[in-house]
Amino acid sequence: MWVEKYRPRSLDDIRDQDEIIRRLKRFVEAKAMPHCLFAGPPGTGKTTAALCLAHDMFGERFHEAFMELNASDARGIDVIRTTVKEFARAASISGLPFKILVLDEADNMTADAQHAMRRTMERYTQTCRFILCANYSGRIIEPIQSRCAIFRFTPLADEVVANFLMEIAGREGVKIGEGGLEAIVRVAAGDMRKAINTLQAAASMDKPVDEETVYSVLGLAKPGEVEELMEKTLSGRIDEARRILRSMLWSQGVSGLDLLKQIYHHMLDMDLPSDLKVDLVDTVGEVEYRLSQGADEEIQLTALLAKLSSKGASS
């Protein structure tokens, strides 16, 4: 996939996020760095920056001193106790100042797991530096935040996305047609992964990538987006919303919990009276708790959408 093929290998190759990159390069020069928290929306370069930093820091010996874990997949206190701790506490590799452990999607860790990790971070600071990547820094517990240098990644500028897409198109021999580039940039909204994936999918259609092709990618390869779900919900079509929900949960394998979070953020952005939002947030919290107790994802989410639909319509 092009997202991997064109992922920058060194900090020098990273476009945008200039201020952040400048600071990270200084870490490389000094062969020293604090624990870091990379916060920002998807596709803005958090994981890439972490990988590049480690590459530039360790060069050839990257593989000896680097470890990447995904908190969403390797969750829970047990993983922190075992894998993370083992890696962190082993003595540093000769000739290298320390090891780097990247924890992706760290905001998906439970508070308990985060507390457990906090102690590990402290104890093994000498031998290991942590880079936590998260969409929302607010979901990282305060004590960890205070031990980290926080870097806020923002959506990439349209220009940066457009230039990179042109470069890839050139190298892959992809012809860009009328309005194609603009359409991708618009839907990607600063998310480089989405931009590149959309380009690659559109290029598979064996004709110039124009506006129409881009929309057929977004239409046919429904990236399981919540927008449509919310639109049906707010126009009172719960039966149709449920159908979309079913397709996402059962066929596409989207996790109910993930979906719940997305609905939650969507909801907060909606133009609703504050007291109503508070009430809805309470419901969202209740749903998450119920899911943890083994309740059915589809049923709980459908009920939440129905509530949103009736309140959203009557307010």
DSSP classification of residue 12:
G
- Smaller CB distance to other proteins: residue 21 or 312? 312
Tokens encoding 153: 């990644």
Could you give the string, one character per residue 26-55, with x where binding to other proteins holds by CB under 8 A and - elsewhere?
----------------x----x---x----
Please report how close the Cβ of residue 215 comes to other proteins at its closest, in angstroms.
12
The reply on whether position 17 binds other proteins by CB under 8 A is no
Give the residues across from 128 on adjacent strands.
Answer: 99
- Smaller CB distance to other proteins: residue 42 or 177? 42
The reply on whether position 295 binds other proteins by CB under 8 A is yes
d(CA 5, CA 300): 40
* Residue 20: partners with Cβ closer than 8 Å, 6 or more residues away: 49, 151, 152, 153
d(CA 194, CA 185): 9
Q: Of the ranges 82-90, 114-122, 175-183, 289-297, which one interacts with other proteins (CB under 8 A)?
A: 289-297
Please report how close the Cβ of residue 126 comes to other proteins at its closest, in angstroms.
27
Whole-number Cα distances in Å, 108 to 18, 74, 75, 111, 261: 27, 10, 8, 9, 11
- Smaller CB distance to other proteins: residue 20 or 203? 203
Could you give the string, one character per residue 221-260, with x where binding to other proteins holds by CB under 8 A and - elsewhere?
xxxxx----------x-xx--x---x---xxxxxx--x--
Please report how close the Cβ of residue 112 comes to other proteins at its closest, in angstroms.
19
The reply on whether position 281 binds other proteins by CB under 8 A is no
Please report how close the Cβ of residue 292 comes to other proteins at its closest, in angstroms.
10
- Smaller CB distance to other proteins: residue 61 or 222? 222
Please report how close the Cβ of residue 90 comes to other proteins at its closest, in angstroms.
22
Contact assessment for residue 2 and residue 168, using Cβ atoms and an 8 Å cutoff: yes
* Residue 187: partners with Cβ closer than 8 Å, 6 or more residues away: 194, 198, 214, 218
* Residue 62: partners with Cβ closer than 8 Å, 6 or more residues away: 54, 55
- Smaller CB distance to other proteins: residue 49 or 148? 49
d(CA 131, CA 53): 10
3-state class (DSSP) for residue 178: coil
Q: Of the ranges 58-66, 150-158, 160-168, 299-307, which one interacts with other proteins (CB under 8 A)?
A: 299-307
- Smaller CB distance to other proteins: residue 146 or 293? 293
43: left (phi over 0), alpha (psi -120 to 50) or beta: left
Contact assessment for residue 41 and residue 153, using Cβ atoms and an 8 Å cutoff: yes
Binders of other proteins among residues 122 to 161 (CB under 8 A) are none
- Smaller CB distance to other proteins: residue 119 or 222? 222
Burial of residue 93 (number of CB atoms within 10 Å: 0-12, 13-18, 19+) = middle
Q: Of the ranges 114-122, 160-168, 213-221, 266-274, which one interacts with other proteins (CB under 8 A)?
A: 213-221
Closest CA to 36 of 146, 126, 119, 150: 150
- Smaller CB distance to other proteins: residue 126 or 255? 255
d(CA 67, CA 58): 12
Query: Which residues here bind other proteins, judged by CB under 8 A?
Result: 1, 3-4, 42, 47, 51, 68, 70-73, 104-105, 108, 193-194, 197-198, 200-201, 203-206, 217, 220-225, 236, 238-239, 242, 246, 250-255, 258, 287, 290, 293-296, 298-300, 302-304, 306-307, 309-311, 313-314
